[in-house]
Amino acid sequence: MKRRVFLGASAAAATHWLWPESAGASSALVLVPIVAAGSPVTDISLGTLRRVFTSQPVSGPGGVSFVGFNQPAGARERELFDRVVLGMGPEEAARYWVDQRIRGGVRPPRSVPNVALLRQVVVRYPGAIGYVALSDLDASVRPVTINGAGPAAPGYPLR
Amino acid sequence: MADAPEVTAQIESRRRLISRVRLKLRLILMSLLIVASLSALSLLIVRSVFSSITPSLRSDLRWKAQRGVAELSHSGDFGVLTGNLQQLQQSSEHYTSDADVLYVRFRGEQAQVLFERGSARGLPMEEQASEAVAENALAFVSWAPVVIEGLRVGDVTLAVSKARLQSGAELYRRMVILGLLGGGAALVLAFLFVRFYIAPILRLTERTFGELEQSARAALASAEAKTQFLANMSHEIRTPMNGVFGMLHLVRQTELTSAQRRYLDVLASSTRSLLKVVNDVLDISKLNAERYQLLPEPCALRDLAAEVGTLFEQRALEKGLRLSVEVQPSTPEGVSLDTDRFRQILSNLVNNAIKFTEHGAVELSVRASPASANASPTSGQHQLEILVDDTGVGIPESERSRLFQPFSQVDASSRRLHEGTGLGLAICKKLLELMGGTIEYLPRPEGGSRFRIVVPVNACAPAAPVAALPEAPSRRWSCERPLLLVDDNEVNQLVAVEVLEGLGLRVDVAASGHDAIEAVLNGDYALVLMDCQMPGMDGYEATRQIRARQRGARVAIVAFTAHALAEEREKVRQAGMDDFLIKPLELPALEQVLSRHLPPAPASERRISSRAPGAPPPGKAATPAAPLPASALQSMAEPLQPGLRRPLRAVELFLTRTPGEIELLRRAASEAEFAAARALAHKLKGTAGSLGARNLAQCCAALEYAQPEPSAAQLDTLLAAIEQAYQLASAAMRRELRESQRPPEVSSA
């Protein structure tokens, strides 16, 4: 059974409409960006997400640099996220990172082997941003809206 | 004591045995050394292998520690960040299951231990700089910080055991120890084997060999002494026989009654028989001792066969036998043979045939066939076949097996009809064996005997015709230049001078080698007769010096010696002498020698005697040689007996000189100059012998031929005997002198 997680009373009140309880029960994959529960970040633009996950330096609130943590390659979450955020399919994304490596460019964000660990990493690593399926949310992390839209909002991009 | 050949054969056999034993021992020793060497080689190989493997293994382990910690810091970073034990366990699973990994530890940001496997006891756990590897005897220890996107979240430590290195080193140590032990054991075994097995065997075999060698040396020395004794005896017998033959010859030229001439003929015949016996015994001894040396030379076979026929023609006629000699045309004119020995063989067979044939004929036939089909009759190897057939009594079958054995005669009974030593056929067989030939007896169906000789020979240019025959009448020699006779023995001088002068030759005499050299260099001689054994400078040395110093025409020098051994012939040839004349001097032999070296006399002077056996003596006017003076006759080798007349001058000379010579002899002996003593004894022996002082001559001979060299005490004994013999002889001679000077008593009757 999936639990609804509220990171704080104010935050929960503010975002209650954004995270309907039934939203996570849908059979379609819906991704949610997450940060540590204590992070001041509540919303992020799709462009910021793109820059973070293409290893561009991006500073968040309080001057803390965002650090993206990916799901493992081949995971459905990773495929959807790359397609929506980076605009690349799996093969295209792989070629992109190989190309970056060859050119001495940036390295891809680290992939974390499983969701549980990803959540822990997001919790423990300062400035960490990850993403999980809506159904994998728990209270240790805070979901972040994208351009102010939550998963229940029409036009939510990570679905 | 064993015979020398037998001992030599034993020694050879033992030598081979020892060689085999030594070979085996050497092989065993070599095997042990090879084992030791292989052990050492194995050690070297192992050492080499470990030397190359160890650094590689060490490098691998070190790399494993470095690489491992780098991998762990990467794979375990999220585990370290999150403190997720399961994640850390999974990340380090690959290493914790590795046998080489001793210890894995993850620590968090505050150095709190998050995960640990294995024991860190004894490991160098001080925190290292990244990439650095600490090590001690147990392990390589590597440390690395765990960093995620530049943020240090903890560290990881990995220790890789050095157990594999240690076990390799341990294995190497064990192999070295084993190798050393193996090699050492092989060496110890080799030493023990040599010490307790080889050494006793070698000692035993060498001792046995030494004893055998000693026996062999003794046997060989004995054989040498026997041969020397034979040579000496030959010399000793021939010397007096020289006198006998010479005197016989000279006496025959005096006026004799027919009875005296008959007696002389018998005496001459007996003397020749005696000489033949001596020669036969000497020959067979030399042949048995394998000291006989053949002297091959070009030999005119037809002439040789004719000569043998002529030799026995008279005897055959006397017995009413027909003696024929046939040489087939295919026979080469000349072959390489020891002519003297071959003549001896043929003479022996023909002599036997005549001896044992009473009626009928004796036939000597010679034929030859090429040894190979393509050899021409005048060159190459031939098989010479000689048949001597007679119509005599033949030889019973039971006796044929010992026909060629020494001292065996078909009729060995005391009543046997035919004289002889029984050595002739044995000598023939051994001589033929030396020549590579064979002799066999073949009975003739019609009665009588056939002896068949087959000898391989090489054809060559024919030799000069054989000279005068032994019993040919004496002839006179016309030579303007004198002959030089070199001999220290006065008796021999006298005989030879008389004989030579009797042949119409002039003779000068030299009594030593030095005198001979002086005479030859300052005079002009047609021929030199050189005694070989003389005190001071012997005949060989004198000849060598003459040959070296003489300028102008080369004078012929003939060895005149009582030594009849074949070695002597070779020795005189090597010294530079041209011919060989054996004492006792026999006229035919002398004439043969003279004919080879002197120009022939004019035909009118050649034949000086046509006296047939038994014919009356020639008149004095026709006799070339004057009768020997009475003094000379009396000085011949007669024994010292009461009443024997000796030349006055010789006796006086003997009595005057001998004490001095004995003193010299004693001095030489006291100064250990044995060679000088031997020479002095030789000289004194000759003088004493010529005057009939036989005891003195024998004592001198004992000193001269003493073998081995006598000790001082033995020399003293010999010298005392010589002095005593001289005292007795001189007393007897003085007595004779006094008696000869006493006026003859007039018979009162």
Task: Tell the CATH topology of B638-741.
Answer: Four Helix Bundle (Hemerythrin (Met), subunit A) (1.20.120)
B82 and A110 within 8 Å at the Cβ level: the answer is: no
Domain B293-441 class, CATH top level = alpha beta
Cis? peptide before A108, omega within 30° of 0? no
Cα A81 to Cα A102: distance, rounded to the nearest angstrom? 24
Q: Is A96 within a domain?
A: no
Query: Measured between beta carbons, which residues in chain A are less than 8 angstroms from residue B114?
Result: none
B112 touches A at CB < 8 Å = no
Q: How far is A112 from chain B (nearest CA, A)?
A: 8
Measured CA distances, B602 to B290, B472, B477 (Å): 47, 17, 8
pLDDT at A36: 93
DSSP state of B610: -
Q: How many other C-beta atoms are found inside a 10 Å radius of the C-beta of residue A39?
A: 23
Chain A positions in Cβ-Cβ contact with residue B150 (cut-off 8 Å) = none
Delimit the domains of chain B by residue range. Answer: 293-441, 471-628, 638-741
User: How far apart are the C-alpha atoms of A71 and A131, rounded to whole Å?
Assistant: 7
Across the interface, whether the CB atoms of B87 and A126 are under 8 A apart is answered: no
Domains held by chain A: number = 1
Reference B558, options B538, B574, B579, B531; nearest CA is: B579
Nearest neighbour of A117 by CB, restricted to B82, B148, B151:
B82
Best of A55, A125, A140 to disrupt the B interface by mutation (most B CBs within 10 Å)? Answer: A125
Name the nearest CA neighbour of B216 among B534, B484, B1.
B1
- Could you tell me if residue A158 is inside a domain? no
d(CA B367, CA B376): 15
Helix (H, G, I), strand (E, B) or coil at B372: coil
Beta bridge partners of A110: A69
User: Per the CB < 8 Å rule, is B82 touching A121?
Assistant: yes
Cis peptide before B584 (omega within 30 of 0): yes
Residues in chain B closer than 8 A to A67 (CB atoms)? 149
Instruction: Report the run of H or E that residue B260 belongs to, with start and end.
Output: helix B258-288
Pairing of strands B133-135, B139-148: antiparallel
Q: Say if A92 falls within a structural domain.
A: no
Residues B587/B591/B593/B594 CA torsion (nearest 10 deg): 130
Instruction: Say yes or no for a CB contact (<8 Å) between A110 and B84.
Output: no
* Chain A nearest-CA residue for B83: A120
Altogether, the residues listed in chain B come to a count of 749
B464, HSE (Cβ side, Cα atoms, 13 Å): 6
B141/B101 Cα distance (integer angstroms):
10
Is B151 in CB contact (< 8 Å) with chain A?
A: yes
Name the minimum distance, in Å, from the CA of A108 to any CA of chain B. 11
pLDDT grade for A15, boundaries at 50, 70 and 90: very low
**Cβ <8 Å between B81 and A110:** no
Residues of A in contact with B109 (CB under 8 A): none
Separation CA B356–CA B449 (nearest Å): 10
Question: Is residue A113 a part of any domain in this protein?
Answer: yes
Number of H helices and E strands in chain B, helices first, is 20, 17
**Closest chain A C-alpha to B81 CA, distance in angstroms:** 7
Cβ–Cβ below 8 Å for A117 and B78: yes
Residue B161 falls in which region: left (phi positive, over 0), alpha (psi -120 to 50) or beta: beta
Residue-wise burial string across B515-527, b where 16 or more C-beta atoms lie within 10 A, e elsewhere: bbbebbeeeebbb
Q: How confident is the model at residue A13 (pLDDT cuts 50, 70, 90)?
A: very low
Place of tokens 């290893």: A55
Phi, psi dihedral angles at B233 (to 5 degrees): -65, -40
DSSP-derived letter for residue B377 is T
Close Cβ partners of B183 (under 8 Å, ≥ 6 residues apart): B35, B36, B39, B40, B43
Residue B152 backbone dihedrals phi, psi, to 5 degrees: -75, 120
Q: Give contacts of B77 with chain A, Cβ < 8 Å.
A: 110
Q: Which of B149, B151, B152, B153 to mutate to test the interface with A (most CBs of A within 10 A)?
A: B149
Separation in Å, CA B8 to CA B48, B212, B430: 57, 9, 21
Q: Which range marks the domain in which residue A140 is found?
A: 9-21+30-71+109-146
Average per-residue pLDDT for chain A: 83
CB spacing of A120 vs B148 below 8 angstroms: no
Select from B270, B289, B183, B274 the least CA-distant residue to B231: B289
| Whole-angstrom distance, CA of residue B712 vs CA of residue B672 | 8
Name the minimum distance, in Å, from the CA of B119 to any CA of chain A: 29
A19 pLDDT band (50/70/90 cuts)? low
Phi and psi dihedrals of B535, rounded to 5?
A: -70, 160
Query: Using an 8 Å Cβ cutoff, are B489 and B240 in contact?
Result: no
Write the CB contacts of B95 (distance below 8 Å, at least 6 apart in sequence): B68, B71, B72, B101, B104, B158
- Is the distance from CB of B369 to CB of B382 less than 8 angstroms? yes
Distance of residue A153 Cα from the nearest chain B Cα, in angstroms: 33
Per-residue model confidence as pLDDT tens digits over A84-131: 999 999 999 999 999 998 888 888 999 998 999 999 999 999 999 999
B78 contact residues in A (CB cutoff 8 A): 110, 112-113, 117, 120-121
Asked whether residue A77 is assigned to any structural domain, the reply reads no
What are the per-10-residue average pLDDT scores of chain B (749 residues)?
Answer: 63 74 76 79 80 84 90 91 90 88 92 90 74 83 90 92 82 80 79 79 80 81 72 68 75 80 80 75 72 78 85 83 88 85 89 88 89 61 91 83 69 50 81 90 86 90 48 60 86 76 86 90 90 85 90 87 70 88 75 80 40 32 31 36 56 81 84 80 74 76 74 79 83 75 46
Do the Cβ atoms of A70 and A54 come closer than 8 Å? Answer: no
Nearest CA in chain A to B148: A110
Domain covering B471-628 in this structure, CATH number: 3.40.50.2300
Query: Of B273, B265, B266, B278, whose CA–CA distance to B239 is shortest?
Result: B278
| CATH code at position A123 | 3.40.190.10
Q: Which residues of B touch A121 (CB under 8 A)?
A: 78, 81-82
Does B148 reach chain A within 8 Å, measured CB to CB? yes
A125/B148 touch (CB, cutoff 8 Å), yes or no: yes
Quote the minimal CA–CA distance from A124 to chain B in Å: 7
Round to whole Å and give the CA distance between B68 and B89.
Answer: 15
Residue from A64, A71, A112, A123 whose CB has the most chain B CBs within 10 Å, to mutate: A112
Contact yes or no for B87 and A113 at CB 8 A = yes
Nearest CA in chain B to A67: B149
Contact at CB, B78 and A113, closer than 8 angstroms: yes
Chain B residues near residue A126 by CB distance under 8 angstroms: 151
Among B77, B82, B149, beta carbon nearest to A67:
B149
Is B672 buried (19+), middle (13-18) or exposed (0-12) by CB count in 10 A? exposed
List CB contacts (< 8 A) between A110 and chain B.
77-78, 148-149
Contact B511, B538 (CB under 8 A): no
Crossing angle of the two packed helices B199-252 and B674-690, in degrees rounded to 10: 30
Q: Two tokens at B695?
A: 């005891």
CB B285 within 8 A of CB B421: no
Phi, psi of B428 (to 5 degrees): -55, -45
- Pick the residue of A121, A140, A141 with the most B CBs within 10 A to test the interface with B by mutation: A121
**How many Å apart are CA B235 and CA B282, to the nearest integer?**
11
CB pairs under 8 A between A and B: 26
Length of chain A: 159
